[in-house]
Copies of this chain bind each other. A is one copy, B any other.
Amino acid sequence: MSQEAPFRFELQAHSGAARAGLLSTPRGPVPTPCFMPVGTRGSVKGISPRELREVGSRLVLANTYHLMLRPGEQLVAEHGGLPGFTGYPGPFLTDSGGFQVLSLGALRRIEERGVFFRSHLDGQPVLLTPERSVQVQQALGADLIMAFDECPPYPAEASYLRPSLERTLRWLERCLQVPPKPDQALFGIVQGGTDLELREVSLRETVAMGLAGYAIGGLAVGESKEEMYRTLAWTAPRLPGDRPRYLMGVGHPEDLVAASALGIDLFDCVYPTRTGRFGYALTDAGRLNLRSSACRSQLGPVDPSCDCETCRSFSRAYLAHLIHAGELLAPRAISLHNLRYLHRLMERVRSAIAQGALRAWAESWGEAYFGAAPPTWFCAAVRAA
């Protein structure tokens, strides 16, 4: 991909390794660093398209594996793609399905050709290949699409990781053979586990193919935070500076701050909606358990400084009541707040980068968030900013 319209990534400010940028897509600009809410099955759980816009979502992730199996990519294409299907008119990114095939598909078998698996819905046998993944993503019509890769399990030996990432590189070449659509950009994915030699091979070969953006896969899959951040700190600065860098499947508040400091531009995670459904609200003082007995009598909002509809409308006591009563409004209202919290967090990170002062901001944020000295991995990461 060239850096021509409709895809352009413009760096606007730096704070050490951290970057603030603007990623142009056919369906609108995406200020970075950016957190993407996850609409696995074409819906961010409990949240309407209008609310996504209102909480500040700028790029939404949808899942190739799930949508291919149900309702089928053809139905989505008949709606004109994901925006027409879901009612959310902004930019989308689709993952390639590789991760889900391997984590959800039963009786899966990885071969050079692709992955054979049985659908988790009805047991039907399916073959997902690099070519088919790209074709499905073309039918789904996202703005940004991902190469079909293998995300290896953790822990894995180099003897597993090396052939896996070499196959992933061959799969990437095959993805690039599929005639592209002009309104879609393909991202490659760097693998290699926590083995820096293998990361180097994967990164060098992936970058050599000259893609519109690069993702770091295979992290946050079970390794320690120290291992994850050691790998990230090595990998992120070696990716091309003029292309967006996407850290896949990561999105706890502390990770958004720490990985932004290391130069990551895009994030996705089910965390804000999943933890919201469990009754946890994200705040600068850490995660608030709305099921706790203390909350049942608190008349103030989750976060007095938050501008979301939940904080403007509801007390903690009311949210606690909704949870205990099993009301549908509870997961929805808490998820809405959590999405707003993460989007505001990204806005604050962007603003600190624009001032060239992310490190000081992140250290101060970390002290309040962890309620004590932040962990070593966090401190080390933010020193890059």
Chain A contacts to B: CB under 8 angstroms: 41-43, 45-50, 66, 70-71, 75, 78-79, 85-87, 296-297, 299, 309, 313-315, 317-318, 320-322, 324-325, 327-329, 331-333
How many monomers of this protein are in the complex?
2
Closest to A74 in B: B297
Would you call B70 and A318 a contact (CB within 8 A)? Answer: no
Q: Determine which of B46, B297, B333 lies in contact with A329 in the assembled complex, contact meaning CB atoms within 8 Å.
A: B46
Instruction: List the B side residues contacting A331 at CB < 8 Å.
Output: 328
Would you call B87 and A41 a contact (CB within 8 A)? Answer: no
Instruction: List the B side residues contacting A47 at CB < 8 Å.
Output: 329
Q: In whole Å, how far is A136's beta carbon from the nearest beta carbon of chain B?
A: 16
Q: Determine which of B43, B296, B299, B317 lies in contact with A327 in the assembled complex, contact meaning CB atoms within 8 Å.
A: B43
Q: How far is the CA of A317 from the CA of B48 in the complex (A)?
A: 16
Q: Determine which of B71, B299, B314, B325 lies in contact with A87 in the assembled complex, contact meaning CB atoms within 8 Å.
A: B314
Question: When A43-B322, A70-B324, A325-B41 are in contact, do A317 and B79 touch as well, CB less than 8 Å?
Answer: yes
Q: How far is the CA of A47 from the CA of B328 in the complex (A)?
A: 8
Instruction: List the B side residues contacting A320 at CB < 8 Å.
Output: 71
Q: In whole Å, how far is A122's beta carbon from the nearest beta carbon of chain B?
A: 12
12 further contact pairs, Cβ within 8 A, besides A43-B327, A45-B328, A79-B315: A41-B325, A42-B318, A43-B325, A45-B329, A46-B332, A48-B332, A70-B321, A70-B324, A70-B325, A75-B297, A87-B314, A328-B331
**9 nearest interchain CB pairs?**
A87-B313, A46-B328, A41-B325, A71-B321, A43-B327, A43-B329, A45-B328, A87-B314, A85-B318
Instruction: List the B side residues contacting A332 at CB < 8 Å.
Output: 46, 48, 328, 332
Greatest chain B CB density within 10 A among A41, A66, A318 is at: A318
Closest to A71 in B: B321
Would you call B50 and A309 a contact (CB within 8 A)? Answer: yes
Question: When A328-B331, A328-B332 are in contact, do A86 and B318 touch as well, CB less than 8 Å?
Answer: yes
Would you call B296 and A71 a contact (CB within 8 A)? Answer: yes
Question: When A327-B43, A331-B328, A332-B328 are in contact, do A318 and B78 touch as well, CB less than 8 Å?
Answer: no
Q: Determine which of B45, B79, B297, B327 lies in contact with A41 in the assembled complex, contact meaning CB atoms within 8 Å.
A: B327
Question: When A317-B71, A321-B42 are in contact, do A333 and B48 touch as well, CB less than 8 Å?
Answer: yes
Instruction: List the B side residues contacting A314 at CB < 8 Å.
Output: 87
Q: In whole Å, how far is A84's beta carbon from the nearest beta carbon of chain B?
A: 8
Q: How far is the CA of A318 from the CA of B71 in the complex (A)?
A: 9
Instruction: List the B side residues contacting A49 at CB < 8 Å.
Output: 313
Q: How far is the CA of A75 from the CA of B328 in the complex (A)?
A: 21
Q: How far is the CA of A299 from the CA of B49 in the complex (A)?
A: 18
